[in-house]
Amino acid sequence: MLIYKVEDKEFLPYGKVITGLSPASLLKRLDEISPKPKASVVYVPDVKELDADPIAKTLSLNVYGGMPIQIGYCNGDNTKLNCLEYHRGSEINIPSDDMVLLLALITDFKEGKLDTAKVKAFFVPRGTIVQIYETSLHYAPCNGNNEGFRVIIVLPKGTNSKKPDITERTPEDKLLWACNKWLIAHPDSAEAKDGAYIGLVGKNIDITQK
């Protein structure tokens, strides 16, 4: 699979690289407190040790304009797409290891389906602060090397917590998987087997395969 860099012009519709901030202390805490499982992925949406880092206030003020945020992590070992998700509000990713993001645009999701041929891959070097726009569909990162990944995930407070009890009123409601998390699954994914909305058609992308 062709893998672009986040510095390439192809990334511009999906997000941007944020400069002027140093995430070194936050990444040091991440490496110290969080596991990196093999052949699986672990996601924790809000971690008090990460929320306590001095950069947390800077991220809230300078990146989210004063909104309350949460800082968690997504760690593991992954090479597949499996699903795509989106939120109300941008997501910040700060990898402690090189990683690859698989992304699509919300405008590619039409009539309840998204062709995985529309998905593009982007390499993110360790230590890079990347903003993923609200209109960009994304999911768990993929390995940027053979050692798996640790990634800081910053989102509006409450995102990915318990799904609210709602009455379905709009077509989008069937995609709601958790608080502020709309999920589109590939039929081959574990999430699909757990009842997630199946809307990805085509190949379940594996970045190790051509």
Specify the pLDDT at position 146. Answer: 87
Query: DSSP letters of 152-172?
Result: EEEEETTTTSSPP-----SGG
Record the tokens describing residue 208, joined without a space: 């190790």
| Amino acid code (one letter) for 76 | G
Specify the pLDDT at position 2. Answer: 95
| Amino acid code (one letter) for 162 | K
| Cα–Cα distance, 124 to 193 (Å, whole number) | 30
Residue pair 83/182 in contact (Cβ under 8 Å)? The answer is: no
- Predicted TM-score (pTM) of the model is 0.97
Specify the pLDDT at position 210. Answer: 73
166 contacts: CB under 8 Å, gap ≥ 6: 173, 176
Specify the pLDDT at position 85. Answer: 98
Specify the pLDDT at position 126. Answer: 97
| Cα–Cα distance, 124 to 96 (Å, whole number) | 10
Residue 152: how many CB atoms within 10 A of its CB? 26
27 contacts: CB under 8 Å, gap ≥ 6: 94, 96, 126, 127, 150, 152
Residue pair 141/99 in contact (Cβ under 8 Å)? The answer is: yes
pLDDT along the chain (210 residues), means of 10: 96 98 97 96 98 97 98 98 98 98 98 98 98 98 95 98 97 97 98 98 94
Residue pair 118/187 in contact (Cβ under 8 Å)? The answer is: no
Torsion, CA 6, CA 151, CA 133, CA 113, rounded to 10: 100
| Amino acid code (one letter) for 13 | P
Domains of the chain: 3-201 (2.60.120.10)
